[in-house]
């Protein structure tokens, strides 16, 4: 009878525990006797994370055995799946399997770091910084064949002469005798200069003065016939000399430069060089292209000297006028000394 009473009490408690989420009943509140305490002393507790629970109980064969020996430990299988997506890592948890004899194993986490695939540039060094600056400056420069973007404007539909293509008035009429006398006047030897390599020339301002005496200020001008062509060390452009509304000469000027910042100055030198070549067609200072005049002027008005550079100590031969002196940074020196 005692065993039957214990069984009924055990069944009643199991039914109540299945309906009520109670994990464990405190010992002092159990009033059913030692059989109830023995039945709940096992690990048959309900887990909050278990998805399925199976309970198997057996009864003893004799009434003399204690009630707790008839109850077998309850076994359950728990499977938990957790998926979380952190901002910079991802992990996968394995399902945990626990039993009454072993505690649940914590889920293993696999972290895969994400690295940026963009390669960072190397830090600038004292050597690479000037090279990078030079490369950046070279990219900013215009192409050597694109010129300076100074193409003369188109005059289609405008009642004016397009001097970029027109040859209006070329060779149509000669100048007056007074104008011709000024243009064909012998060159003044005091105006002739000589370069260090022995080439004689007339400064470009002297050509402008002769044109102003012959035609008056504003009676002549230079019209560009194309855009400037810039190479690595040279600027060139074609000009036409317009006198009193008609074309009289066409020439291409050129000028060297050694620094990109000197290109504007080189363009003015290119224009003056074209003017000098155009004036050659008008007979201005034509003696400078006469070999006999050049030899006579060189022997009478020039001298050759050995000079030494003050800083580099390099020696060279220099040609200059007899009434000129050596200028800094050169000084007179003797050959072989």
Residue-wise pLDDT for 231-289, tens only, equals 889 999 999 999 999 999 999 999 999 988 889 999 999 999 999 999 999 999 999 99
Integer Cα distance of 198 and 226 in angstroms: 33
DSSP bridge pairs for 77: 52
Q: Which two tokens stand for residue 267?
A: 């363009």
Q: Report the pLDDT value the prediction gives residue 152, as an integer from 0 to 100.
A: 73
Mind listing the pLDDT tens digit for each residue in 143-165?
Answer: 444 556 677 777 666 677 888 88
Euclidean distance between CA atoms 76 and 55, whole angstroms? 7
Give the Cα separation of 175 and 177 in Å (integer): 7
Task: Work out the pLDDT band at 34, boundaries 50, 70, 90.
Answer: low
Domain ranges of the chain: 163-170+185-191+202-288, 290-336
Query: Can you give the pLDDT at residue 137?
Result: 61
> Helix, strand, or coil here: 52?
strand
Contact assessment for residue 32 and residue 9, using Cβ atoms and an 8 Å cutoff: yes
pTM, 2 dp: 0.55
User: Over 70: is that where the pLDDT of 139 sits?
Assistant: no
- The string of DSSP letters for 279-326 reads HHHTTTTGGGG-HHHHHHHHHHHEEEEEEEETTT--EEEEEEETT---
Per-residue CA distances from 77 to 24, 54, 98, 225, 289 (Å): 19, 8, 6, 97, 114
Average pLDDT for the chain: 75
Q: Which CATH architecture has domain 163-170+185-191+202-288?
A: 2-Layer Sandwich (3.30)
Residue bearing the bigger pLDDT, 334 or 56: 334
Most confident of 13-17, 57-61, 90-94, 130-134: 13-17
The 10 Å Cβ neighbour count of residue 257 is 20
Q: Give the whole-number percent of the chain exceeding pLDDT 90.
A: 40
Q: What is the 3-state secondary structure (H, E, C) of 227-262?
A: CCEECCCEEEEEEEEEECCEEEEEEEEEEECCCHHH
285, 206 contact by CB (below 8 A): yes
């Amino acid at each position: 009878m005692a065993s039957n009473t214990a069984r009924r009490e055990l069944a009643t408690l199991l039914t109540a525990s299945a309906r009520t989420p109670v994990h464990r009943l405190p010992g002092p509140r159990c009033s059913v006797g030692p059989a109830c305490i023995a039945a709940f002393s096992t690990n048959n507790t309900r887990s909050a994370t278990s998805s399925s629970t199976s309970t198997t109980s057996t009864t003893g064969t004799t009434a003399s055995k204690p009630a707790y020996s008839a109850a077998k430990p309850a076994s359950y299988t728990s499977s938990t799946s957790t998926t979380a997506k952190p901002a910079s890592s991802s992990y996968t948890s394995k399902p945990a399997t626990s039993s009454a004899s072993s505690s649940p194993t914590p889920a293993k986490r696999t972290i895969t770091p994400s690295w940026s695939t963009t390669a960072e540039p190397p830090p600038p060094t004292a050597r690479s910084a000037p090279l990078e600056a030079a490369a950046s400056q070279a990219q900013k420069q215009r192409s050597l064949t694109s010129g300076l973007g100074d193409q003369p404007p188109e005059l289609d539909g405008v009642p004016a002469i397009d001097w970029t293509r027109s040859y209006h008035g070329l060779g149509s009429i000669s100048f007056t005798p007074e104008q011709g006398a000024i243009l064909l006047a012998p060159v003044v030897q005091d105006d002739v200069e000589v370069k260090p390599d022995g080439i004689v020339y007339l400064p470009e301002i002297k050509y402008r003065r002769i044109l102003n005496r012959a035609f008056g200020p504003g009676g002549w001008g230079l019209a560009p016939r194309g855009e400037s062509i810039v190479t690595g060390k040279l600027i060139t452009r074609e000009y036409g000399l317009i006198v009193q509304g008609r074309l009289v000469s066409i020439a291409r000027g050129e000028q060297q430069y050694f620094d990109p910042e000197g290109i504007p100055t080189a363009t003015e030198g290119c224009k003056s060089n074209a003017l000098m070549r155009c004036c050659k067609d008008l007979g201005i200072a034509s003696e400078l292209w006469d070999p006999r005049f050049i030899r006579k002027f060189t022997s009478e008005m020039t001298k050759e000297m050995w000079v030494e550079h003050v800083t580099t100590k390099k020696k060279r031969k220099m040609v200059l006028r007899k009434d000129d002196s050596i200028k800094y940074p050169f000084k007179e020196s003797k050959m072989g000394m």
